[in-house]
């Protein structure tokens, strides 16, 4: 089959295995640094639009580092232009430019620094123990259902102060939002209203929590945002709600996808698993980075030219759209030696799995690293012989998905007692 950049908008490209997808990405990457793709926008009367795919590392980094030339405010999480209200509700400050982006990011950034995350680490470890306790006696399970899915979302809910009684509401809504149009989550007749209803359910839940914390503050993140001492740093209820949606969606599914792909990668690369298990303390840091590089959970982000720009020696104009494909960039042989090899000791590893360098680098990267590290430490300790027993089932996406998720991953292991048993 002759490589074609138009494959990037076909559902079958994204529903194939990670290995097959990246093999095809390698062919597309060699077609050029900036590849025009025509796509039909059903939201705009089936008009045909053009965007430019960026499958190579250098162009992804360049665009990420120059927000003055390549903005996010026209929409970073969608190839198509969408109403700004929708973009900001579902994507928060990801879909903003400075000064609004810098203002909102600064307010919440302190929560995600390494120093502040020391306080969260105990919660991460206790939740991981709790989640593994829930299935460790079974001997077999769907890893996504019992671990990858609940673990990071429980952490986000606890950070925000969402009661456990509302966890299923949050889980169901985020599954819809990040489904990529998979009928299993949105139904056979699902349309845009299904996504909007999922967003409304999260907004309603968060609105009630904001009012509760306004009257009865605790030490959770919602209380801190509601009762910020500096007037200029107060977020509106709508902005806090949007932040929660961003954390519950982006902060949850990227980690969930990294964990699932990580377990699958170790199963397919037993030599790398043996290296990691033999030296957990020494290898975990580089192994986590390698999982993020190889899995590249976030598939793309978009930028829009703010004026006439030059990229890879070509001229482009104001309004031109550029879509950065992180998975392709993370296997660019111009940057990574033997890029198709999964190497838990890879160093250096300048991947863009958390986004390229610049103001939109993933705010939750430090938390995600901690979460993935804790999960694999606990799996090696408590379920050391865990193995994958069947193919990873990808989301049945309707087009270009924001996250390359796995919705099922069957595993088996020697049953062990709960931590308190």
Q: List domains and CATH numbers for the chain.
A: 5-412 (1.10.630.10)
Instruction: List the Cα angle 59/104/329 in 5-degree steps.
Output: 20
Helix (H, G, I), strand (E, B) or coil at 227: coil
Which pLDDT does position 118 carry in this prediction? 74
Residue 50's DSSP bridge partners are: 38
The DSSP code sequence of 270-323 is: HHHHHHHHHTHHHHHHHHHHHHHHHH-SB-EEEEEESSSEEETTEEE-TT-EEE
pLDDT of residue 211: 94
User: What is the Cα–Cα distance from 76 to 95, expressed in whole angstroms?
Assistant: 5
Which residues, in sequence order, are bridge partners of residue 301? 324
Could you tell me how many helices (H) and strands (E) the chain has, helices first?
Answer: 17, 12
pLDDT for res 393: 95
Distance CA 14, CA 10 (A): 7
Q: For residue 224, what pLDDT is reported?
A: 85
DSSP strand pairing (70-71 vs 140-142): unpaired
Global pTM value = 0.95
Q: What's the pLDDT score for residue 7?
A: 94
Question: Which residues of the chain have a pLDDT value below 50?
Answer: 1
Question: Given this model, what pLDDT does residue 115 score?
Answer: 74
Give the residue among 319, 314, 317, 254 at the shortest CA–CA distance from 288.
254
pLDDT at 106: 87
Q: Residue 359: what pLDDT?
A: 94
């Amino acid at each position: 089959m002759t490589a074609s950049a138009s494959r990037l908008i076909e559902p079958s490209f994204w529903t194939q295995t990670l290995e097959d997808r990246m093999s095809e990405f390698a062919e597309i990457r060699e077609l050029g640094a900036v590849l025009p793709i025509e796509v039909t926008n059903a939201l705009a009367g089936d008009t045909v639009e053009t965007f430019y795919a960026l499958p190579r590392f250098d162009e992804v980094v360049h665009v990420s580092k120059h927000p003055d030339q390549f903005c996010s405010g026209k929409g970073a999480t969608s190839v198509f232009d969408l109403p700004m209200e929708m973009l900001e509700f579902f994507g928060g400050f990801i879909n903003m430019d400075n000064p609004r982006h810098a203002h909102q990011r600064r307010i919440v950034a302190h929560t995600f620094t390494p120093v502040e995350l020391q306080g969260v680490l105990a919660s991460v470890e206790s939740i991981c123990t709790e989640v593994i306790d829930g299935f460790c006696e079974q001997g077999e399970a769907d890893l996504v259902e019992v671990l990858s899915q609940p673990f990071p979302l429980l952490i986000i809910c606890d950070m925000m102060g969402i009661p456990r009684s509302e966890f299923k509401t949050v889980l169901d809504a985020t599954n819809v939002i990040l489904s990529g149009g998979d009928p299993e989550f949105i139904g056979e007749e699902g349309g845009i209203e299904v996504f909007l209803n999922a967003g409304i359910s999260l907004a309603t839940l968060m609105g009630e929590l904001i009012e509760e914390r306004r009257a009865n503050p605790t030490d959770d993140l919602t209380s801190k945002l509601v009762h910020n001492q500096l007037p200029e740093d107060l977020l509106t209820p709508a902005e806090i709600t949007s932040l929660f949606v961003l954390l519950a969606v982006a902060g949850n599914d990227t980690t969930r996808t990294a964990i699932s792909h990580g377990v699958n990668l170790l199963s397919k690369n037993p030599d790398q698993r043996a290296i990691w298990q033999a030296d957990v303390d020494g290898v975990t840091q580089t192994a986590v980075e390698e999982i993020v590089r190889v899995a590249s959970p976030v598939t793309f982000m978009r930028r829009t030219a703010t004026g006439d720009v030059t990229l890879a020696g070509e001229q482009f104009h104001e309004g031109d759209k550029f879509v950065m494909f992180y998975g392709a960039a993370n296997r660019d042989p111009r940057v990574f030696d033997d890029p198709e090899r999964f190497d838990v000791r890879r160093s250096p590893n300048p991947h863009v799995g958390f986004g390229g360098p610049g103001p939109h680098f993933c705010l939750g990267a430090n938390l995600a690293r901690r979460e993935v590290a804790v999960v694999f430490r606990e799996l090696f300790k408590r379920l050391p012989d865990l193995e994958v027993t069947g193919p990873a089932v990808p989301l049945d996406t309707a087009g270009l998905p924001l996250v390359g998720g796995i919705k099922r991953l069957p595993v088996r292991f020697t049953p062990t007692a709960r931590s308190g048993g």
